[in-house]
Structure 1
Amino acid sequence: MSNSTSHPLDDPAVDPFEVATAAAADIARLSGVEHHDIAVTLGSGWGRAAELIGDETASFPATEVTGFSKPALEGHVGTLRSVRTPGGKNVLVIGARTHYYEGHGVRRVVHSVRTAAATGATTMILTNGAGGIRETWKPGQPVLISDHINLTADSPLEGATFIDLTDLYSKRLRDVARSIDPTLDEGVYTQFRGPHYETPAEVQMAKTIGGHIVGMSTALEAIAARQAGMEILGFSLITNLAAGIQQTPLSHEEVLEAGREAEPVISALLARVIGAL
C-alpha cells in the first residue's frame, strides 16, 4: 500500500470515510473483534504500553488494512493490535502513524483516527514524543496536552465543514489521568510541519503565542477525532528541551534514547489510565 500511485486516499473523488469503514471491516476480520471501545496511537517512547494494557487478542501489520501506509520513521512499529483490558474493554492499539512531513496529504495522516472511529471507538488517546519549552520539565517526563496550536496551515476537514474545537483535549479525561498520577503537568502542544527540528527563534515564537510543547504530529489527528465525535486524551513524552531552551544540538537519537529510558514508566502510566476509563 505504500506505493502512492495506488493509494485509495490519494484520489480526491474517494470519500475518506468510506476508506475508513473498509479499514474497520478489515480490522474486524483480522482481529475477530467486531467493536472497539478505545483507540490509542503510540508515538515515540510509548510503544511498550501495548503489552501492559491487557491481553492481546490479535496483532497484524498495519499494511494489511485498507489505507494504511508503511511507517517512514524508525521507532514506529507499523503494527495494529486488539487488546482486551481486565475490565473487558477492547482497545485498538495503533503503532502505525503517518506523519504530515511525509508529504502524503492530510487524509493519510488522519486515516488511523477515522478508522478507529469506524471500529466503534469513542475515546481516542494520542501520544507523542516532543520538545518541551518549560525549563522546569525534564527529558523523560510525560505531560498532558491541554490544547493545541496547529502551525501546519492545513486541516483534515474538507469543504464547508465547521467543527467546534473548544475542550478538544477533554478536561474529563485529563482529570482521570491525574487521578492516576496527580503530579502530571499539562501544556499546549504546537504542531510544526517538520521534519526539521524548530529553530530557537521558532521555539520562542511558539512560546510567545502560548505553546509549551513542540512536535510534528497529533494536532491534525485530534481535529479528525473530534469531527468523528470522539473524546480525546493527549499525552506528550518530553524527550528533550526544545532548541534554544537546551544548549546542545537536537538529535533524533537523543529523542529515541529518552523514549527508551522513560518507556517502562510512561507505558505503565498509560495502561493504568486506560484501565480507569
Structure 2
Amino acid sequence: MLEKIKATASFIKNRFNTKADIGIILGTGLGGLVKEIEIIDFIPYEEIPDFPVSTVDGHLGRLIYAKMGEREIIVMQGRFHYYEGYSMEEVVFPVRVMKYLGIKNLIVSNASGGLNPAWYVGDIVLITDQINLFPEHPLRGKNEDVMGPRFPDMSKVYDERLRNKAKLIALEYNIQVREGVYVGVQGPTYETPAEYKMFRILGGDIVGMSTVPEVITARHLGLKVFGVSIITDSGVPGEIVEISHEEVKKVAMKAEPKMTLIMGKLIQSL
C-alpha cells in the first residue's frame, strides 16, 4: 500500500509541482468553492494511478491544484464513499496521498441530515467530534509505522484552533454557525425515523455517509482537520419528509455561498 501511495503522490507532484500544505475535500453539492479559486491545473481522477473514480451525481471527480489569495491548495472536487462499493482502503487512499504531497491541514465538507431539534435545514455546522458507525475501520490491517501509530489518539479529532478561527470569521460576516457531533453511517439509504432517533440518543447532531473514515485517516497521519457541514434535511420528529439526492444537492447549493466564504477566509488565514 505504501508504495502505491508514494507512486501516486509522485505522479501528482510531477504534474502539479506544488508546495501546497492545505487539502480540501468537497462534498455533495458543495463544488462552488471552485468558482472562487484560481485554478492552476487539474487532473481527472481516472487519469491518476490507483485513484478511485467518483460515481455519485454532484461529485465531478477531479483533483485541482489552485491558489486562493496567496495560499496554494489541493482540492478534491468529489469524494469516494464506502456505499459505492469501494473498500475502506480505497475510500481513504486520497487522504494518504495528500499527506505525501505535503498537506498538513485538511478541510472536509459534507451535506448532512439534522438530528438536533433546535437546528434547521440550511444551517451550517462546524463539526466538533464524530461517531463512527461504519462497518469497517479505515485503519484495519497491518499498520505502516511511518504513517502513524498502531493505536492513534482520537480525543481531539477536529482542530479547535481552526474551528475558533472559523467562528470568528462567521461572526465578522454575520453568518450563524452551529457546532456539533457528526454521525458517520454506511448508506446509501437515507435514515428511517427510528434510526434518526437512535443517532440523537447516541449524542449526534447531524448524520451523513462520508467524512468519518477520511478524518480518522487524517488524524492517524498527523494532519490537522477542520470539518463543516450543511444540514440538507431534517430527522427531527414532525419535520421528517421524503427526500431525494436532488433535493439534498439543491439545499446544499443554496447554503453553499456562506460556507464557501468561511472556508475561503479560513484558508487565507492559515
Same fold (TM over 0.5): yes
3-state secondary structure, aligned to 1:181 = helix
What is residue 7 of structure 1 aligned with on the other side? none
When the two chains are superposed, the root-mean-square deviation of aligned CA atoms in Å is 1.5
Instruction: From 79, 92, 95, give the equivalent of 1:110.
Output: 92
Match of residue 214, structure 1, among 207, 213, 217: 207
State the one-letter code of the partner of 1:18.
E
- The correspondence for 2:223, drawn from 222, 230, 252, is 230
Matched, 1:122 2:104: yes
Report if aligned partners of 2:28, 2:78 keep a CA contact under 8 Å in 1.
no
- Which residue identity is paired with 1:234? G
Q: Equivalences for 1:38-57 in 2 at 5 Å?
A: 38-52=22-36, 54-57=37-40
Which residue in 1 is equivalent to 2:158? 169
1:168-213: CA deviation from partner (whole Å, max 9, x where unpaired): 0111110011110133211100011100011111111111111011
Distance (whole Å) between structure 2 residues aligned to residue 142 and residue 26 of structure 1: 36
Structure 2 equivalent of residue 60 of structure 1: 43
Q: CA deviation at 1:96?
A: 2.8
| Structure 2, gaps ≥5 residues long | 144-149
Q: Residue 151 of structure 1 contacts residue 193 of structure 1 at CA under 8 Å; is this kept in 2?
A: yes
- The amino acid that maps onto 1:68 is F
Instruction: Map 1:236-251 onto structure 2 (within 5 A).
Output: 236-242=229-235, 244=237, 246-251=239-244
The whole-number CA distance in structure 1 between the counterparts of 2:142 and 2:44 is 33
Q: CA deviation at 1:115?
A: 1.1
* Aligned AA (1:84): K
The alignment's TM-score, normalised by the length of structure 1, stands at 0.89
Aligned-pair CA distance for 1:243? 6.5
1:145 aligned partner: 127
After superposing the two structures, state which structure 1 stretch, 35-44 or 57-66, moved more: 57-66
Runs of 4+ in 1 over 4 A off after TM superposition: none
**In structure 2, what residue type is equivalent to 1:188?**
V
Alignment of 1:72 with 2:55, yes or no, is: yes
Percent sequence identity over matched residues? 36
Cα distance in 2 for partners of 1:117, 1:265 equals: 28
Quick check: 1:69–1:98 contact (8 Å CA) kept in 2? yes
What's the TM-score once normalised by structure 2's chain length? 0.91
Alignment counterpart, residue 178 of structure 1, candidates 167, 179, 193: 167
Q: 1:61 to 1:136 in 2, by over 3 A?
A: same
User: d(CA) in 1 for partners of 2:105 and 2:90?
Assistant: 20
* Contact 2:63–2:75 under 8 Å retained in 1: yes
Give the secondary structure class of the aligned counterpart of 2:31: coil
1:245, CA displacement in angstroms?
5.5
Pairs aligned (count):
259
